[in-house]
Structure 1
C-alpha cells in the first residue's frame, strides 16, 4: 500500500474546515473480518497552528503543501480566524501561564524545610511522650506488685517493659 503523503506535508482534513495539519505518521491497516478483507491507511496528524493531535483516514485528507514548502507557506498563512481546538487536548501554557520566579521557589523551599523541621520535632516529642507513658505504666504495675505481691501485676509490668524495649529500639 502506498500513501500519497509524506512526513511533514501539510494537509487539510474533511470535517476540520479552515485548519491545517502536519503529517506525522501513518499505519497501513489490513483488517480481516468474516465477510472479507479491507485495507486502509490511518494517518496521525498535528495541527500546524495549535499543536492538537488528530487521527484520520487517508481518504479524508487533501494535500495543501509539500514538506519542502511548508515553512514558507506557514510564514504567509493568515491565522486571524483560525478555529479553536475541538478536542480536550491539554495546553500547558493555559495551565501554567507563567513559571514561578526563582525567588518564589526559594521561599517555598525555605517554608518546606521549616515545616519538615516542625514535623520532625513533633514526632520526637510524641515518641518521648509515649516512652514516658510506658515508664509510668511500668512503675505503677511494679508498685502494685510490691504492695500486694500479686503475680498478675508483675506479668503486666514485664509486658510493658517488653513494649518499652521495642519502642526504644525503633
Structure 2
C-alpha cells in the first residue's frame, strides 16, 4: 500500500490561486484519487497543489479578495428587549449586514428586524440596542408564562367598553372587582414563580441570561 504523502499546504495557510491571482485561506484539505486537493475560503471548488502558491512566495500580481466573518449575536425567534422601549418584548424575525468601505475607514453594521410581542409592531434596531431575554428555543414558553402571548396591556375596544358601561349603569359591580383582583393576584403569583425559578438557575449556573429574565419579570411586576 502506497504511503500517503504529506500535504503541501495546511488549513489556515494564506495562498494565491495562481490562475486568477486571488488570495484566500485554506479551509479544508481532502485526499482524492491519490492526491491532496484544497478548499479555499469555504468555496465549493477544490484546487490541486499545482494551482496554488503561498502568498509569501508568490511573485505575480495579486487581486485582493476580502473575506469577512460576521458574528451574529441574535438569531431568528430570539426574544429581546430594545433600548428605549422599557419592558416591551420583541422577537427577531430577520437581520441583514450592511458593509461600509471608505478610503480611510471600514466597518460592518448588523441590523435586526423585530416584531413586538404585544401588538406585532415592526421595528429595526442595531445590535448594540438589543438585550437577549430568551433564546428562540425557550421564547414561546417564556412568553406564555409571562402572560404576554395576548398582551395584558392590549387596548380595549372603545365600543365594547361603552356597552359594558351602559349595561352596568356606569358602575362596576362588586363581583367584577373581586374577579379582577383575583386575576391580578394570579398573574402576580405566576410572575413571582418565574422570578424564583430563574433566581435559583442564576445562583446555580451564574448565567447572565437568567438575570435578564429576572429583570424583565421585575419590570412587569412594577407595571402591574
Of Structure 1 and Structure 2, the greater helix share is in 1
Larger strand proportion of the pair: 2
Give the alignment's TM-score, normalised by structure 2: 0.35
TM-score normalised per structure 1: 0.45
